């Protein structure tokens, strides 16, 4: 069945550092891919999405490219801020309409 | 504001009791998903409904049940509650296949 694998956290960075959070997936067909963010004490918010191969999703300085050849959707940001500290979830949604999440990666950014 | 409304926000109850969590999806969304998030754990998929019918089932205990009503709101019923059921319960909704889902703020359940 479909699945999502994320790098384990926590990821600890200094402010203005470059961020990469790896995400790979297993799926039949052509799923849609998503990154969600959960700030402390809050629900999940959609951060960005990509619906087909080579699409790049972007929002708030974050980017991720749908790579079918490597079945990956890595999240990147060029310069992180303390306010980016949160848990990031990679997810996919295939033809079955089931929304499947990775285990989440906690990001901690220090000034 | 995602447009998904969950009530109540907080719930404290005793072991052995039964509670009902409610979710109102975004206007026009036909799919409703329920997830459980325990402390330091990821999101465990419980169950999904589409336009009133069960579409997918995850790791949902037999003590738990859910339904989606004709007006598309959904309820998650948790019975014979145990201490280990203490968690955040999230509802999400989406228009349909391959579209993004939007999450409510969650219901924090504490079983004492």
Among B83, B79, B101, B84, which Cα is nearest to B92's? B101
φ and ψ of A83, to 5 deg:
-70, -10
- Model pLDDT for residues B51-71, shown as the tens digit of each residue: 999 998 998 999 999 999 999
Confidence (pLDDT) at A8: 86
> How far is residue B100 from each of residues A38, B9, B31, B66, measured CA to CA in Å?
16, 23, 11, 22
What's the rounded Cα separation, in Å, for the pair A87 and A85?
Answer: 7
| Band of residue A41 on the pLDDT scale cut at 50, 70, 90 | confident
**Enclosing H/E stretch for A106:** strand A105-110
User: Mutation test of the interface with chain A: which of B40, B43, B56, choosing the one with the most A Cβ atoms within 10 A?
Assistant: B43
**Chain-chain contact of B48 with A45 (C-beta, under 8 angstroms):** no
Phi-psi region of A96 (alpha: psi -120 to 50; beta: other; left: phi over 0): alpha
Interchain CB contact of B50 with A (< 8 Å): yes
Q: Are B32 and B74 in contact (CB under 8 A)?
A: yes
Q: What is the DSSP letter of B58?
A: -
- Model pLDDT for residues A56-104, shown as the tens digit of each residue: 999 999 999 999 999 999 999 999 999 999 999 999 998 777 889 999 9
Confidence (pLDDT) at A97: 77
What's the rounded Cα separation, in Å, for the pair A65 and B27?
Answer: 30
Confidence (pLDDT) at B105: 94
Q: By CB neighbour count within 10 A (0-12 exposed, 13-18 middle, 19+ buried), where does A2 fall?
A: middle
User: Mutation test of the interface with chain B: which of A9, A32, A43, A96, choosing the one with the most B Cβ atoms within 10 A?
Assistant: A43
Interchain CB contact of B101 with A (< 8 Å): yes
| First and final C-alpha spacing in chain A | 41
Q: Is B65 helix (H, G, I), strand (E, B) or coil?
A: strand
- Is pLDDT at A42 greater than 90 in this prediction? no
- Is pLDDT at B41 greater than 80 in this prediction? no
């Amino acid at each position: 069945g479909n699945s999502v694998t994320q790098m384990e956290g926590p990821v600890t960075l200094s402010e203005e550092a470059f961020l990469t959070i790896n995400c790979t997936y297993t799926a039949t067909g052509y799923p849609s891919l998503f990154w969600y963010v959960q700030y402390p004490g809050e629900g999940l918010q959609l951060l960005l999405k990509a619906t087909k191969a080579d699409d790049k999703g972007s929002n708030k300085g974050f980017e991720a490219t749908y790579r079918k050849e490597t079945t990956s959707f890595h999240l990147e940001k060029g310069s992180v801020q303390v306010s980016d500290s949160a848990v990031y979830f990679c997810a996919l949604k295939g033809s079955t309409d089931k929304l499947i999440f990775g285990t989440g990666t906690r990001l901690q950014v220090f000034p | 504001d995602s447009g998904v409304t969950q009530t109540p926000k907080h719930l404290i109850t005793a072991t052995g009791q039964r509670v009902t969590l409610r979710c109102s999806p975004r206007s026009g969304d036909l799919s409703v998903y329920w997830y459980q998030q325990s402390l330091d754990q990821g999101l465990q998929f419980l169950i999904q409904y589409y336009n009133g019918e069960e579409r997918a089932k995850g790791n949902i205990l037999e003590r738990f049940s859910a339904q989606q009503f004709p007006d598309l709101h959904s309820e998650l019923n948790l019975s014979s509650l145990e201490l280990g059921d203490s968690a955040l319960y999230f509802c999400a909704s989406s228009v349909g296949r391959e579209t993004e889902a939007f999450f409510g703020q969650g219901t924090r359940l504490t079983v004492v």
